[in-house]
Amino acid sequence: MGSSRNRMVILDTSVLISIFEKKIDIRDEISAEIGKAELLVPRSVLRELEKLYSLSRGSRRRLAKAAIDYIDSIGFKIIESEDEKDVDRDLIMLAKKFDAAVATLDKELISKLRKEGIEIITWKNKRFKLI
């Protein structure tokens, strides 16, 4: 990507929850790894967090609520989904559409993204890394 525009990074559910588990600032972590980036949250990920919040108990519920509140307070750009029913497929479709990397901790999703040739940002050696 050219240096004249920000890179785009799509955040998945696992990364948004990890912000609170690992007590990190995702914006700082990603910009330290790849430079200035626009962080995007698909509507499917937001719905998945809302579902986790309404159906979960204990820490999982609290983490989902914290992630939802964080998205609202930071003002991440919410993007419309291409596939509301399959979040992984949606992330792949959106990454291709926006020429974006995907930030995830989900091993199964990482495998799918690799097969599609999509850039991945994940937690490795106590920090987020582009792999």
For residue 1, what pLDDT band results from cuts at 50, 70 and 90? very low
pLDDT at 4 over 60: no
Identify the structural domains of the chain with CATH numbers, from first to last.
7-130 (3.40.50.1010)
Q: pTM for this one?
A: 0.91
Beta strand extents in the chain (DSSP E only): 7-11, 37-42, 77-79, 101-103, 120-124, 127-130
Name the residue among 33, 36, 28 with its Cα closest to residue 8: 36
pLDDT at 109 over 70: yes
Mapping DSSP to helix (H, G, I), strand (E, B) and coil, where does residue 50 land? Answer: helix
